Every structure is written in C-alpha cells, then in structure tokens.
Amino acid sequence: MSGFNENDGILVIGATNRLDTLDEALLRPGRFDRQVEIGLPDINARKHILSLYTRSKPIADDVDIDALAKSTVYFSGAMLENLINEAAILTANNNKSIIDQESIDKAFYTVIAGAPKEDRSYITEKDKEITAYHEAGHALMTKLVLPNHYISKVTIIPSVRGAGGFNLSIPKDTQFQNKSDILANIMMFLGGRAAEDLIFGMDNITTGASNDIQKASTMIYEYINKFGMDNDLGLFSMEILEHNSDSKLISKCRSEINKLYKETYDLLLENKNILINIANELLDKESLNSDDIARIFNSSY
C-alpha cells in the first residue's frame, strides 16, 4: 500500500464486514482513512430497494410494497433481492405470469426459514404435538412480553433447513434496544422449552430448543458483559482481557438465564389455557397468522 501518489488518479476502495480484524497499517492516514459504515436498510431504504428489484418484473395489484417494506425488518439488500427472485421462481413454477401476494408470502418464509418440506408423512402425531406446544410457547410469550411485535406467522410445518416449525415475530424499526427489550426477547426464546416443560414434564423435553438456548445465551452474555446492564457486575467488560474465562461472569449469566426461565415458565403456567388453545389450533391448521393469534389470545380471557 506504500507509494501511492496523489496525482496518479487512482481511487482504491475496500469492503469488509470484519473491520475489527483488519491490520492497523491499512487504516493509517493516506491509505484507507475514510470509513463509511453501511448498515441494514431502514424502512424507507427497504421500500426503495424493493421498488428497484420489482421495477422490471410483473407485479400484481395486490402486492403492497409499503407493507412488505414494513415486514422485512433486519433484511439486508441481498435478502430483499433474494425475496423478489424467489417469488418470481415460485410464480413461474406455478405457471403464473404475474407475481402476486401469495407468491411473495411463500417467498418471504422461504428466505426466513427455508422451503417447507412436501413429504411430511414420516412425522409422528407426538412430534407434531411437541412442535405445536413449542411454537405456541414462543407465540404466547411474544404476546405477553413483546406486545409491540407483529406475529407474522406461526407454523409446525418443517422446512428443508431442518427446522421443525418456526415462529416469526417482527419488531418495529428501532436504532436501540433497551434493557427491558433484551430481557423480554430472552424470555420469548425460552418460551418453547418452557412450554415443553410445562406440558410434557422436564424428563420429556426435547432437543428442539437448542438454537433458542444459543440465542438466549448470547443475549444474556451481551446484556451483562457488552452492554453493562447488570446491576451487580456493572460497566466493566471482560472482553478487553486477553483470556476471558471469568467464572463470576459465567456464573452470573447462568443464574440470570435460569431466573428468566423460571419467570417464563410461571407466565405460561398462568396462561396455560391460551397456550393449549394456540397449540390445538396449530395441530388443526398447521399455520397461524397474526389475526389468528390475536383472536385466540383475546377470546381466552
């Protein structure tokens, strides 16, 4: 990188998603000294990106780009492009000439969780029941502790990516998460395991919560160590140390997540009738949308 001359007329541009791993020599003045961070698009940017990718494609009148931009929180530009391309493929496979809302919806969930498995004959009734209560636990905790989230879909249909089902709740566009938001999200992730525990007993819990536990563990670690939100350990971050194996930090994370699990379990126990109603309707219909969850939730009181 040495020896560049201002009169050469050469502009060097580099891109990375791991700025923290770059050699400091690259960032010295006169080299890559101008840094431009490109984050995930907000709702207005998503609307422009979707308009760009749909401009050259036949789109039905029932497709609402504004609503689609609102429901694609945390989508990158590449994911939005993939969404529209997947919808176009589904349209062609179904011998349609125009991309309609149904194709958009199917593409949306394919991008999020993978295409649904067509052959589900191997799934036992017991497995369906476990999945229904697991996903019902996530959905119910979302309604209880994250009321501002939009529950787009809850399903027990497995995907080709290995998911037995999924619960898609969409948060509002926001620049920050506060303390309550993080704790509520952790409880939402723990809702599936807690529902299994409540209905089938601790001896019959399954491996279905493994990804949920990883996400919840990451969030509680960042809550305590990265964001300094814990009252006991305060603002000091162990990440500055070369070897981060502090037993007190690990113990605190474990203690806090176990406490949140107990709170999650107790909330589901208090609302067990709603949990059962959501699970039963999932077993009957396989997939529920936001209106279905709201109807069950409101009618159970």
Range of the domain at 54: 43-113
- 3-state SS of 148-175 is CCEEEEEECCCECCCCCCEEEEECCCCC
Tens-place pLDDT, residues 102-154 = 899 889 888 887 777 777 777 889 999 999 999 999 999 999 999 999 888 89
Tens-place pLDDT, residues 17-45 = 888 788 888 877 777 767 888 888 988 99
CA distance 140 to 194: 11
Do 106 and 146 lie in one domain? The reply is no
> Has residue 276 got a pLDDT over 90?
yes
Query: In the chain, how many domains are there?
Result: 2
Terminal Cα distance for the chain, rounded: 68
| Cβ-contact 57, 84 below 8 angstroms | yes
Do 176 and 222 lie in one domain? The reply is yes
Do 101 and 138 lie in one domain? The reply is no
- Domain end residue (candidates: 113, 139, 169): 113
Do 176 and 292 lie in one domain? The reply is yes
pTM: 0.80
Is 256 a known active-site residue? no
- Domain end residue (candidates: 73, 93, 113): 113
CATH number at residue 66: 1.10.8.60
Catalytic residue among 135, 196, 256, 281: 135
Closest CA to 83 of 70, 97, 98, 68: 68
Average pLDDT value for residue range 171-185: 88
Do 279 and 217 lie in one domain? The reply is yes
